[in-house]
Amino acid sequence: MISQAVLLVNLGSPDSPQEKDVRQYLKQFLMDPYVVDLPGWLRWLIVNCLVLPSRPKQSAEAYQSIWWPDGSPLVVLTQRLTDKLTKEVDCPVHFAMRYGEPAMEKEILQLAKTGIEELLLVPLYPHYAMSTVKTCIEEARRVLAKHHLSLKVRLHPVFFGHEQYISALEEVTKPYIEKPFDHLLFSYHGLPERHLRKDDPTGSYCLSKPDCCQQPHQAHQTCYRAQVYKTAELLTNKLGLKEEQYSVAFQSRLGRDKWLTPYTSERLVELAQQGVKRLLVICPSFVADCLETLEEIGMQGKEAFIEAGGESLTLVPCLNDDAEWVGVLTDWLKQSWDHYPQLDKM
Ligand SMILES: C=CC1=C(C)c2cc3[nH]c(cc4nc(cc5[nH]c(cc1n2)c(C)c5CCC(=O)O)C(CCC(=O)O)=C4C)c(C)c3C=C
Ligand SMILES: [Fe+2]
Ligand SMILES: [Fe+2]
């Protein structure tokens, strides 16, 4: 039997909600070439001259409004999930964050020192994007090369359409749709449209026509938009919702580029103006509640919706450390890992 370990990876948070820690975190995050995918000198200029002078103060206030006594909700919830999985799975289960602490480098090194031979990297993102999954893969590759580690690293694939993932989402959503509501909004984290084109393996399919994501195509293996629409379609089918009962929008736009549309901020106002009073919002691009769900939707979004004439905005919680989700991950981790691709063969 070879010795194995699991490393769950999520995005990460600042060390504290203080402005100086938020600045350091934003700097590391936004200097990542898979996030701000511009030539190095231009990225440096934008991050240092446009973002860092003002954003840390604004983001720190947002973080302060959702921070928990034991830390950032994203980190605390990922820790709780890890603790529950540790009790179910026979090998060590650790978690790391792509930005901030616990850093991927530290966790991979710590596991390598225990003498494990095989590591399963599980990016906690249902949908592929270069700013999430790809950057985790590249960071793992960098760490392996830097420390000359001969560890076999396998990658858990994205799970946007996996039946068990959809069932876990159904379980957390059901109690909310059983009460009266007018509309369910799927609010996914947005991306610059350019990222979709860059990741398109055919080089020409993504965004070539308005309904490109609705036609089956090999480009969808890395098409974030096609994948998020698939999650919405599968979940609403399971919940038995009609097309007019739900819609999809994209949140958290940053900068002046064109991001995926429609924007959540605009859609919330539109829905209120169309007469929607009781709105449910679900955010399936996040597996754990975080700044983007608790503050952007649960606070700012709610205020905007009510100001535009809506009556209530209810946020459906993320999967977090929900028992059904723990069961699904346990199943995936206990299966044979042979079919998970090896990083050095990808
Ligand atoms: C779920 C997938 C995510 C994608 C895709 C993503 C892309 C992306 N994000 C930014 C910029 C920011 N995102 C921020 C916070 C944040 N983003 C995600 C996830 C995705 N990002 C999460 C889970 C969080 C919350 C972290 C937490 O601590 O709770 C932030 C920081 C906060 C702020 O200042 O608004 C920024 C900045 C870009 C540019 C991008 C794609 C190019
Ligand atoms: Fe983000
Ligand atoms: Fe597409």
> What is the per-residue pLDDT across 120-151, written as a single tens digit (0 to 9) for each?
999 999 999 999 999 999 999 999 999 999 99
Model confidence at 81, pLDDT cuts 50, 70, 90, reads very high
Same domain, 56 and 148: yes
Predicted model pTM? 0.96
Do 26 and 136 lie in one domain? The reply is yes
134 and 207 housed in the same domain = no
**Amino acid (1-letter code) at residue 13:** S
pLDDT at 209: 85
Strand-pair partners of 342: 154
Q: How far apart are alpha carbons 84 and 93 in whole angstroms?
A: 10
- pLDDT tier at 2, thresholds 50, 70, 90: confident
pLDDT at 217: 86
Question: Over the stretch 270-287, which tens digit does the pLDDT of each residue have?
Answer: 999 999 999 999 999 999
Query: In terms of residue numbers, what domain contains 145?
Result: 4-160+323-345
Q: Is the CB of 125 under 6 A from ligand 1?
A: yes
pLDDT of residue 204: 86
Residue 292, marked binder = yes
Same domain, 121 and 243: no
Checking if the pLDDT of 1 tops 80, the result is no
Q: HSE on the CB side for 94, CA within 13 Å?
A: 22
* ipTM over the 0.85 cut-off: yes
Res 163: pLDDT: 98
Ligand closest to CA 211: 3
| Ligand 1 in reach of 72 Cβ (< 6 A) | yes
Q: Which atom of ligand 1 is nearest to the CA of 285?
A: 1
Coil, strand, or helix at residue 202? coil
* Backbone angles phi and psi of 95, in degrees to 5: -130, 155
Q: Quick one: 302 and 329 in the same domain?
A: no
Q: Return the ligand number nearest the Cα of 35.
A: 1
- Give residue 255's pLDDT: 85
In whole angstroms, what is the distance from residue 226 CA to residue 158 CA?
13
Q: Do 97 and 209 fall into the same domain? A: no
Percent of the chain with pLDDT over 90: 90
Q: 186 and 99, same structural domain?
A: no
Same domain assignment for residues 14 and 147? yes
Query: Domain holding 290: CATH number?
Result: 3.40.50.1400
* 236 close to ligand 1 (CB < 6 Angstrom): no
Which of the ligands is closest to the CA of residue 259? 1
Residue nearest to atom 3 of ligand 1 (CA): 189
Please tell me if the CB atom of residue 158 comes closer than 6 angstroms to any atom of ligand 1: no
User: For residues 301 and 61, is the Cβ–Cβ distance under 8 A?
Assistant: no
pLDDT score recorded for residue 172: 97
For residues 206 and 193, what is the distance between their CA atoms, to the nearest angstrom?
A: 9
Q: Kindly report the backbone phi and psi dihedral angles of residue 198, in degrees, each rounded to the nearest multiple of 5, phi listed first.
A: -65, -35
pLDDT at 161: 97
pLDDT in tens, 198-246: 988 888 888 888 888 888 888 899 999 999 999 999 999 999 999 999 9
